[in-house]
Structure 1
Amino acid sequence: MATHSTETHIDTHPDLVSLRERYAAVSASPMAGLVEGLCMLTGLYLAISPWVVGFDNFAGLRVSNLITGLALAVLAMGFGSVLERTHGLGWVACAIGVWTIVAPWSVSGSADITKTIVNNSIVGGVACLLGLATMGMGLMKRRTPGRR
């Protein structure tokens, strides 16, 4: 009895192989390393910022910053290790950034301390920019000499 295999080998498809090679080249670039490192540092700073800046009487905001900061740092580690599979998650860094900006009002009710608002706005903005940069790296085409 002959068996007929209908299994496809998508892993060897030329387009997929080309795409993986492009992402591997982009992830090996110094710019990718810079963006992933900055994203990780941003996440770690966000996690410890309540204690650095001194978010007194804002327990909910401290917990929010700790959790979102650690999530951003873990996401950045994913960007560094497997960019070809995580570049599409750059939007998560943007979402974390937007949440970080609105968290002083959402979590605390009314954030009347300027340092919490300024800190979260700056860190949230940086996280959004790094998320956009990560998504852009996934779309970058590697230029080859002699081609335009």
Structure 2
Amino acid sequence: MSSENLSIQEHPDIAALRDRFDLTGSSATAQVVDGVTMMAGLYLAVSPWIVGFNTTASSLMVSNLIIGLTVALLALGFASAFGRTHGLAWTVPLMGVWAIVSPWLMNGVDTTGGMIASNVIVGAVIMLCGLGSSGFGTFFNPRR
């Protein structure tokens, strides 16, 4: 059967690309990065209760909860099916940047040192892990 008669999903190049991404996503490095990303997302989601600003900064609490759960779910998707979800990896660094700057951008939030330190540290971890996940398919060759 010639490749002219195949749908785009059945094209041999697409299948080879998916296999490469799946192999990349199953590497030990990718698994560690995905695990750290998921843990950082979960921490961001519960940080208002850990740091103690769940009653004093409700808008930041909601932002951290939503962004944290989203990051954790994306990391879970990357860990389980990187070949299918790698196209969303570019969003994780942006969410990390949001976590870093959100204490200053949210209305009605009187920030404390704990809030700022928590968001900046976990945001930087999320951003760096997201950049790593984004680069796996492009720069990482699991066959080397």
Asked if the contact 2:27–2:142 (Cα under 8 Å) also holds between the matched residues in 1, the reply is: no
Asked if the contact 1:39–1:73 (Cα under 8 Å) also holds between the matched residues in 2, the reply is: yes
| Displacement after TM superposition at 1:110 (Å) | 5.7
Percent of residue pairs identical? 45
Asked if the contact 1:111–1:117 (Cα under 8 Å) also holds between the matched residues in 2, the reply is: no
What is the aligned partner in structure 1 of residue 13 from structure 2?
Answer: 15
Q: How many pairs were matched up?
A: 139
- Stretches of structure 2 lacking an aligned partner (at least 5 in a row): none
Q: What secondary structure, in the 3-state scheme, does the structure 1 residue paired with 2:90 have?
A: helix
What is the aligned partner in structure 1 of residue 85 from structure 2?
Answer: 86
2-structure distance, mates of 1:60, 1:11: 43
What is the aligned partner in structure 2 of residue 3 from structure 1?
Answer: none
* Structure with the larger helix share: 2
| TM-score, length of structure 1 as denominator length | 0.85
1-structure distance, mates of 2:80, 2:44: 21
User: Pairwise CA RMSD of aligned residues?
Assistant: 1.8
- What stretches of structure 1 move > 6 A for 4+ residues in a row? none
What is the aligned partner in structure 2 of residue 53 from structure 1?
Answer: 51
Q: What amino acid is aligned across from residue 28 of structure 2 in structure 1?
A: P
Alignment of 1:1-148 (within 5 A): 8-55=6-53, 56-109=55-108, 111-139=110-138, 140-144=140-144
2-structure distance, mates of 1:124, 1:17: 35
| TM-score, length of structure 2 as denominator length | 0.87
| Displacement after TM superposition at 1:20 (Å) | 1.5
Q: Which structure is larger by alpha-carbon Rg, 1 or 2?
A: 1
